[in-house]
Amino acid sequence: MASRITHGPAIKAIRKALGIRQDALAQQVGISKSYLSRIENAVEVPELNATTKRLADRLGVPLDAITYPVPDAALLQESA
C-alpha cells in the first residue's frame, strides 16, 4: 500500500486561485504562516495527517488534489 505525501505547490496554487491569503489559511487550519510557507514551497513535505486534511477541507478540495502516492519501501524492494 502506498503512503500519501502532501503536494505543497498544489496547495499554493489552489489557495491563490481562491484568493485566500497565506496567513489567513494558516490561522484557519491551526498552523503557523511560516510552516504553511515551508509546505507550499516543498521545504516541508508532510505525510498525510490531520493538518493536510484540514487544508483540504478549508480549500474545498478532495485530499487527492493536494497529495500524491508514494510506494512503501517494501513495495520498492519487491520490484527490484
Residue bearing the bigger pLDDT, 31 or 72: 31
Q: Which amino acid is at 10?
A: A
> Quick check: 76 pLDDT over 70?
no
- 13-22 pLDDT, tens digit per residue, is 999 999 999 9
Q: Which domain holds residue 49?
A: 3-79
Question: In the numeric block, which cell numbers belong to residue 29?
Answer: 487550519
Distance separating alpha carbons of residues 44 and 70, to the nearest angstrom: 16
The average pLDDT across 20-45 equals 96
Distance separating alpha carbons of residues 43 and 57, to the nearest angstrom: 22
Give me the pLDDT at residue 75, please: 53
Per the structure, how many domains does the chain have?
A: 1
**For residue 57, what are the CA distances in angstroms to 22, 28, 29?**
15, 11, 9
CATH code at position 47:
1.10.260.40
